[in-house]
Amino acid sequence: MKVVILDLPKIQPSADGGECWVLVEDFHVLVDGMMFAVPAGFKTDGASIPRFLWRLCGHPLETRRFPIAVLHDRLYEEGAALGLTRQQVDEIYREGLVSLGYGKWTANAEYYAIRLCGGSHWMTSTETPTTPTKEKT
């Protein structure tokens, strides 16, 4: 699987004062020739890394993983409506980490952590996404 991050997400703090951030511009990633767009206004926490692990993993917004974590958050919300499984979305995250320069050991460790702990965040909506998210290039 080939993952290419086309631009970097531009964010600002969420107006509600929570721990989420809001995209101020659309953000794009190519996955095996398929364009994924995360729209401006999308809220993300960057990566749902528990605070006690920040010393080991880094702050979610201050690491190289941030762009692929934003896409992962978006696909956890609407991936099912796009015909993607949770496993496929998690594999996109793992391959995105590798494309960002993470080693395979680190990428696999994060992949298995998400597989183990991420299920409660997966949305299974089969409704059409509210914004175009996946386009052929």
DSSP string, 26-83: -EEEEETTEEEEEPTT-EE-SS---GGGHHHH--TTSSTTHHHHHHHHHHHHHTGGGT
Range scoring the smallest mean pLDDT among 58-67, 87-96, 111-120: 58-67
If one compares 129 and 123, the residue with the highest pLDDT of the two is 123
Q: Strand pairing partners for 43? A: 22
Say how far apart CA 82 and CA 76 lie, in whole Å. Answer: 11
Predicted confidence at residue 132, as pLDDT, reads 45
Domain ranges of the chain: 3-136
Express each pLDDT in 103-122 by its tens digit. 999 899 889 988 988 888 88
Phi, psi of 72 (to 5 degrees): -60, -45
The pTM for the full model equals: 0.85
104 vs 53 pLDDT, higher one: 104
Q: What is the mean pLDDT of residues 72-81?
A: 91
The tokens for 93 are 């995250």
pLDDT of residue 137: 55
Structure tokens, 81: 């409506």
Under 8 Å between Cβ of 96 and 60: no
Q: DSSP secondary structure string, 36-50?
A: EEEPTT-EE-SS---
Supply φ then ψ for residue 29, to 5 degrees.
-140, 135
pLDDT above 70 coverage of the chain, percent: 88
| Residue 134: per-residue pLDDT | 54
Q: Tens digit of pLDDT for each residue in 6-19?
A: 999 999 988 887 77
Tell me how many degrees the CA angle 20-97-38 measures, rounded to the nearest 5. 45
Query: Can you give the pLDDT at residue 64?
Result: 87
- The confidence band for 102, taking pLDDT boundaries of 50, 70 and 90, is very high
Mean pLDDT of 94-106: 94
Mean pLDDT, the chain, as a whole number?
85
